[in-house]
Amino acid sequence: MSEPGHGGRRPVDELFGALADATRRDVLERLVHGGPATATELAVAYPLTRQAVVKHLQALADAGLVAAARVGREVRYRATTEPLADVIDWLRGTSAAWDRRADRLRAPASRRSAPQRDPT
């Protein structure tokens, strides 16, 4: 699990913040499945301006989910999904904690509902 960073935020907080927006998730998915693209190429798919798409790309880049590379006059963006491993780790850890809590709640209930043996 990641330690709190600047301002008490952890890297996973940045990831969830970036992934909280449906447009950003869709942009990331397009880059994952379609390969690198410019903001202009991506903007064609949305009812947004190119500059609005650039802002979404910047949020993804701040979370480490997108990398930009200048190619001539263009900036091409590509998905960098490695940081998603932090999200997966967080989800697994949280899920395991909830499973343990649920097991502790189920244990007394299952003992009460178990058939009683006749002591004779």
What's the pTM value of the predicted model, to 2 decimals?
0.70
Please report, for the chain, the start and end positions of each structural domain, with discontinuous segments joined by +: 1-112
The CATH class for the domain spanning 1-112 reads mainly alpha
- Is the distance from CB of 33 to CB of 66 less than 8 angstroms? no
Which pLDDT tens digit goes with each residue over 69-113?
999 999 999 999 888 888 888 888 877 767 676 677 777 766 666
**Alpha-carbon span 54 to 51, nearest angstrom:** 5
DSSP 4-47: P-GGG--HHHHHHHHHTSHHHHHHHHHHHHH--EEHHHHHTTSS
- Is the distance from CB of 61 to CB of 18 less than 8 angstroms? no
Total residue count of the chain as it appears in this document:
120
- Statement: residue 118 has pLDDT above 70: no
